Structure 1
Amino acid sequence: MKRKILYLCLGLLLASSVRAQKHTVSGYVRDASNGETLIGATVLVQGTTNGTSTNVYGFYSLNLEPGIYDLVFNYLGFGEEIRTVDLTTGNQKLEVELMEEGAELEEVVVLAKKEDQNVTNLQMSVERLDMSTIEKLPTLLGETDVLRSIQLLPGVTTVGEGAAGFNVRGGSIDQNLVVLDEAPVYNSSHLFGFFSVFNPDAVKGVQLYKGGIPARYGGRLSSILDVRMREGNNKQFEMQGGIGTIFSRLALEAPIVKDKSSFLLAGRRSYIDVLAAPFLNDNLSDTKLNFYDLTLKTNYKFSEKDQVFLSA
């Protein structure tokens, strides 16, 4: 009798352990036109509020009970994608590509709700901007600039008229950390601070931490500006450029190994020296009133979990 009771208890423990076991569905969400990963794309279990969003690498991971689920993938400016995943047998990998799609927005009704009722994330004081948003902001002489766009955010002020540096919540400029693809940038401006070193054709998006700074960035008193570069088109060759009032720019991107490896090369050069030459006297004729920069990024995807990239 005692042996039967022991077996029964063991059976109940095993059954509860099996029921408590969860499986994981994970993967990357990309732009179907060029293979770029999408930051902040939402992944929801259809009919529920259970879900997640992609990180700065476009990767998502969702833990669910064993079963069959319909996952809904969304990203601003892209069409919705619904995929079915079977988690009855174990973990699954699910790669999704979203098509860019315009949509007419309906009327928005704003209602007041109880304070903190809809708090879903403990990360505070973070501003996220992608390049499509930055390009719509006011510019200096018609030239899009990442650091100048940051100055338009709440709590951020300029260090001086016309300068690209910024102060956050009363701090000084040396209390900010600027990183490009996780590497610190110690000199982030050109031409005495009028323009930043970030080529707009090579930037995917930026995140500004004004408080609650994650430990992985080390210590800074005021803020962290995290700039992420584009990976480059891994579908086909693409070239873009422009001629502005201050400088001209050109960007090339193409796959090295289709769907696995790509590169992005972007450069720009100002021609202030050419425009100012007629107005300089002989004593200033050798003055170099120009700047140029060259940005390169290449990456290779070894597997679903392993990827290496080089930024310069």
Structure 2
Amino acid sequence: MKVLLPILIILFLSLPHTIQGQQKYTLSGTISEVSSNETLIGVTVAIPELKTGVTTNEYGFYSITLPEGTYTVLISYLGFEDITQQITLTENRRKDFLLNEEAEQLEEVVVTENVEKMDIRKPQMSVNTLSVGTIKKIPVILGEADVIKSILLLPGVTNAGEGASGFNVRGGAADQNLILLDEAIIFNSSHLFGFFSVFNPDAIKDVKL
């Protein structure tokens, strides 16, 4: 009994340290571009010590849960400078990052493989994307860029008719279109009898049809 007593005391004293070492905390935040402060999608946030990591979602937000301790956080994104930073987690912490653009001179790329043998990752067909810079270069009435009118220049899209708002896609009717703005449904996409759309081009990053 006298021999077991010191062993029990040591185990009792080491128990709080064991429980404390198992604590986990969340590191989260947003990653944006320095020049425009626009959030970046798909940025890699890696923890080399644990060989784990996450990527930012469509709003530039990331979140990762780690055990308590000090870690090296590696932020990498194509076309931008990498960021390496030491972070100590003793509580839930929010950390935002700003990335600088990195210009590299690349050599020419020659494609020699058969295109038909290329691996298709996403089975998406007829997806067209227009950037805001492209939309603003399109000549428009009264000098104001119109997001909806720019879609009419894409293949398979026609005007709904004279004096009518909306657009038809590949023979469909205007009321068969689903219009989303940041995942929110827009039921009426125009105003002033269809002359202008309700979208402000200065507040939109890109348009996908």
TM over 0.5: yes
Superposed CA deviations along residues 176-215 of structure 1, whole A, max 9, x for unmatched, are 122334443222123432321212222233333xxxxxxx
Q: Distance in 2 between matches of 1:113 and 1:84?
A: 41
Q: Distance in 1 between matches of 2:139 and 2:164?
A: 13
Equivalent residues in 2 for 1:41-120 (5 A)? 41-43=42-44, 54-60=56-62, 70-74=74-78, 79-84=80-85, 94-100=95-101, 107-110=108-111, 111-115=113-117, 117-119=119-121
Q: Name the TM-score, length of structure 2 as normaliser.
A: 0.58
Shift in CA distance, 62/195, structure 1 to aligned 2, threshold 3 Å: same
Q: Which has the higher contact order (CA 8 A, sep 6+)?
A: 2
Superposed CA deviations along residues 278-309 of structure 1, whole A, max 9, x for unmatched, are xxxxxxxxxxxxxxxxxxxxxxxxxxxxxxxx
Q: Distance in 2 between matches of 1:114 and 1:87?
A: 49
Counterpart of 1:16 in structure 2 is none
Is the radius of gyration larger for structure 1 or structure 2? 2
Runs of 5+ consecutive residues of structure 1 not aligned to the other structure: 1-22, 209-312
Displacement of 1:69 after TM fit?
Answer: 6.3
The DSSP-based 3-state class of the residue aligned with 1:193 is coil
Q: Distance in 1 between matches of 2:26 and 2:129?
A: 27
Aligned counterpart for 1:37 among listed residues 28, 36, 39: 39
Shift in CA distance, 101/109, structure 1 to aligned 2, threshold 3 Å: same
Maintained 8 Å contact 1:145/1:196: yes
The DSSP-based 3-state class of the residue aligned with 1:192 is coil
Shift in CA distance, 57/69, structure 1 to aligned 2, threshold 3 Å: closer
Displacement of 1:144 after TM fit?
Answer: 1.8
Displacement of 1:97 after TM fit?
Answer: 0.9
Higher strand share: 1
Displacement of 1:147 after TM fit?
Answer: 1.0
The DSSP-based 3-state class of the residue aligned with 1:157 is strand
Q: Distance in 2 between matches of 1:129 and 1:61?
A: 30
The DSSP-based 3-state class of the residue aligned with 2:83 is strand
Superposed CA deviations along residues 250-303 of structure 1, whole A, max 9, x for unmatched, are xxxxxxxxxxxxxxxxxxxxxxxxxxxxxxxxxxxxxxxxxxxxxxxxxxxxxx
Equivalent residues in 2 for 1:180-219 (5 A)? 180-208=181-209
Letter in 2 for 1:143: E
Maintained 8 Å contact 1:146/1:196: yes
Counterpart of 1:139 in structure 2 is 139
The DSSP-based 3-state class of the residue aligned with 1:35 is coil
The DSSP-based 3-state class of the residue aligned with 2:205 is strand
Displacement of 1:101 after TM fit?
Answer: 6.1
Displacement of 1:166 after TM fit?
Answer: 1.9
Q: Distance in 2 between matches of 1:97 and 1:58?
A: 11
Higher helix share: 2
Letter in 2 for 1:194: F
Counterpart of 1:10 in structure 2 is none
Shift in CA distance, 29/70, structure 1 to aligned 2, threshold 3 Å: closer
Q: Name the TM-score, length of structure 1 as normaliser.
A: 0.42
Runs of 5+ consecutive residues of structure 2 not aligned to the other structure: 1-24
